[in-house]
Structure 1
Amino acid sequence: MADHVSLSSVESAAIRDVAERAMLQGNQVSDIAPWSKALVVHMAYTLSETLKAEICAQYPSLEYYRQEGSPHNPPDEGFIHGGFAISFPRPRAAG
């Protein structure tokens, strides 16, 4: 995990704001990587319910998503906006 990852390549002010707020809560950017639908800011820790509620209220135009994961991909959730996204890991369901 990088100590400091520049968010300068993230051209969505809303996604940058989500990342910055998460970092203020102690989260860290683990990577910024291209995906077929967006440039994704991958966060190291889960999305707090408080931050999720604040972001949903402030940025209703952000698309929220939640993935259950697969044998090859861990579960995650986050937001997508204008070709940029932010992803927070979620715990795997017990079973």
Structure 2
Amino acid sequence: MIRITSHAITRAMERLPGIQSEAEAIAALDTPAVQCAAEFAKGAKVHVKRDTGQRIVIEDGKVTTVLPPNTWKHKLGTEWDRIRQHARGWARFCRGDEG
């Protein structure tokens, strides 16, 4: 059984269709796919996408939250932050700003 935070259980009851109780939320979050992803990416942050579009977020071997289906995964990580900072740098350079 994988560790599931209380925040993840609350988000699962809010965002997963048909989930009414904590027991149902735990059953929906403790699936073989989630367990496999947690074992595969120890110490990292991974997302498991459900068939309904929501993403289950696993950090350091525990389920931390459930994201809504319209969340863009590529905007969640440091790669998107790097791209945004790069664009800001070019905007400053083109304007002639010093800082």
Whether the TM-score (by the shorter chain) exceeds 0.5 is no
TM-score between the two structures when normalised by the length of structure 2:
0.30
- Which structure has the higher relative contact order (CA within 8 Å, separation 6+)? 1
TM-score between the two structures when normalised by the length of structure 1:
0.31
Q: Which has the higher helix share?
A: 2
Larger radius of gyration: 2
Q: Which has the higher strand share?
A: 1
